[in-house]
Amino acid sequence: MKLMGEPNISDIFPMLRPFNLQGIESKTKKHLSWIYGFLES
């Protein structure tokens, strides 16, 4: 929940999205993969 509500600079400047400056996208992917793995087991 915290990661989804956190402001992301790439939402304001879409051209910066590939750089993942704040690391929010990679953290979210890591947490989501853990949750999906937990739910599938």
For 4-38, write each residue's pLDDT tens digit: 788 888 888 989 888 888 888 888 899 999 999 99
* Domain ranges, residue 14: 2-40
* Domain total of the chain: 1
- Given a contact cutoff of 8 angstroms between Cβ atoms, the answer to whether 9 and 22 are in contact is yes
Q: Give CA 11 to chain center in angstroms.
A: 12
pLDDT for 35: 94
**pTM (2 decimals)?**
0.62
pLDDT for 7: 83
